[in-house]
Amino acid sequence: MDFVFGIVVFVIKKAMRINNLYLVCILVISTNCSIDKQSEFVIGNKHLVYTDLSDESSNSDKLMVNFYTKGYEMQFLDPLTKEPYSGTIVDDQSLYKGRYSIENGFMKELITYFEDGSPSYFAIYDEGQIEKMSSWYKDGSLRSKLSGGENWVYSYYNSENIQVMHIEDGIKTEYFDNGKIKTQVPFDHSNFYHGTATAYYSDGSVKAEFVFQSGKLINFKKLNSVM
């Protein structure tokens, strides 16, 4: 699941929040008996069908998935009434078992489990936007956490419980195993690297500086060399 969390971290909205891409990945991974993998996915006892690919044979075991923005925010519709869906879907069949709570068409709460029943991922949403998230390794140790709102904070830990990444106030910081900063990279509200990024050696000395402007590297300066 490493690729899932990697994608989630870097898909950042202008409002500085993480969106629903993780859920999209879960739906794809959860597929176990879909008719058309390009248009329909199975989660629990529900078939999720994209609105622009669905036909007229909608029934009560289907939900229509509406990608209503240029991002990945999703709205779930009742296929019979075309109104926003509210309800809870329990998936105990696929590899990543979970419970999906939907309110007025938007994801409200999501929790997935490992094979032994211990939680692997938990998130609370506000109209499709993640407000709070935690994930764990199989041994129960913390893998990542996020507090949302207007100024969200994200942290990621390796399996030895060492923090390797932190995102806050528009700056992504990566760490060496010894806890010292490896890189610090600022980004703007359009998700582009913007400003002066700094790379460090593991002893804490500055390695190089990179200057970005709206995602483009405009200057690079190597400051020190390690013998």
Instruction: Give the pLDDT band of residue 148 (cuts 50, 70, 90).
Output: confident
Are the C-beta atoms of residues 46 and 89 closer than 8 Å to each other?
yes
Reading the block at residue 126, the tokens are 């506000």
Phi-psi region of 128 (alpha: psi -120 to 50; beta: other; left: phi over 0): left
Instruction: Determine the angle formed by the axes of helices 21-30 and 2-10, rounding to 10 degrees.
Output: 150
Instruction: Give the pLDDT band of residue 109 (cuts 50, 70, 90).
Output: very high
Tell me what pLDDT residue 52 has: 59
Quote the DSSP letter at residue 30. Answer: H
Which residues, listed in sequence order, are joined to residue 110 by a DSSP beta bridge? Answer: 100, 123
Q: Out of 12-16, 122-126, 134-138, which region has the weakest mean confidence (pLDDT)?
A: 12-16
3-class DSSP state of 7: helix
By CB neighbour count within 10 A (0-12 exposed, 13-18 middle, 19+ buried), where does 100 fall? buried
Instruction: Give how far Cα 7 sits from Cα of 49, 63, 140, 199, Å.
Output: 23, 25, 22, 22
Tell me what pLDDT residue 203 has: 92
pLDDT of residue 199 exceeding 80, the answer is: yes
Which residues, listed in sequence order, are joined to residue 167 by a DSSP beta bridge? Answer: 154, 172
Query: Which tens digits make up the pLDDT trace of 46-98?
Result: 767 766 555 555 556 777 777 654 444 678 888 778 888 898 888 887 666 88
Tell me what pLDDT residue 76 has: 85
What pTM does this model have? 0.71
pLDDT of residue 192 exceeding 60, the answer is: yes
pLDDT of residue 164 exceeding 90, the answer is: yes
Per-residue pLDDT averaged across 146-174, rounded? 89
Tell me what pLDDT residue 37 has: 39
